[in-house]
Amino acid sequence: MALRLRKLSYALGAEVCDIDVAWPMGERQFGEIYKAFLDHGILLFRNQDVTREQHIEFSRRFGELDRHEALPRDRHPQYPELLMVTNEPKSDGSPSDTQYTGRQWHSDMSFTTAPSLGSLLKSYAVPEVGGDTLFANMTLAHDALSEGMKKLIANLHGIHLSGTRKLANDNTGIERMAEQKRINPPVAQPVARVHPETGRKALYIGEKVKRFDGMTEDESRPLIDTLVRHATRPEFVYRHQWKKNDILAWDNRCVMHQALGDFDETQLRHMERTTVLGAPSGYVVGGG
């Protein structure tokens, strides 16, 4: 039976219809799914009422999973392959460490020398409205640049930091950023990065990029802002409205994303993510 897909937007994304990821899946069927993953950048699987073990097992079809040692506060205490994304308070009543995770435009684990191939995020609880996630097609964004801009960025490396910015209502931000700087030194990645499987160039930039290697922050900031603004133009973006038991898989090598805080934070938003390790890329730099 041929794979049935429904496009999610003009820019990127497709829903895989009539698939239960918990059921045994042959190599041929998964091969069709993986081809669709490469073709569309995002795959949506609706109504996946699966266990954590089944989520992990399906994710492993995409490749070796990260155990999230770079983000020790964020991983599930019993399942290191799962990264928590939740606003549910801790057992002692203190705020969740991950309630503001992903609020900047970024690609997962770009601050490591083995940035993620892909991520598979499962929703367990979603607010009544809002809490959406935006995704940008970085291949389309690169293709739409002028030839002059492509030449300008061809040999640039952006320095990616793991610590996120401190939000006004985030009391854990300063401590968390200090911890992340200790665990994860800054890593420089190519701004124009070649996808290892499709061979296409994609922008590899985001709001976690502080400066370009060999340039100051003041010199770098205007170009970083220009590239992020360009990449997130509406024609390159898909906005996902979450439903309970969605699993969304995306290709971090050519897709950037941002979680939105446009919801009532007294309502539970709980998700768990597996992260597929990617090919080595970039290099560690000193001084940030």
Residue 232 has pLDDT above 90, yes or no: yes
Which CATH number applies to 4-278: 3.20.20.70, 3.60.130.10, 3.40.50.720, 3.50.50.60?
A: 3.60.130.10
Residue 259 has pLDDT above 80, yes or no: yes
Q: Output the pLDDT for position 229.
A: 98
The count of residues in the chain is: 288
Residue 26 has pLDDT above 60, yes or no: yes
Pick the residue with more confidence: 98 or 195? 195
Residue 173 has pLDDT above 60, yes or no: no
The Cα 173–Cα 59 span in angstroms is 30
- Burial of 287 per CB tally in 10 Å (0-12, 13-18, 19+): exposed
| Alpha carbon distances (Å) from 105 to 167, 218, 271 | 14, 20, 18
Residue 174 has pLDDT above 80, yes or no: no
Q: Output the pLDDT for position 175.
A: 60
Residue 63 has pLDDT above 50, yes or no: yes
- Report the predicted TM-score, pTM, of the whole model to 2 decimal places: 0.92
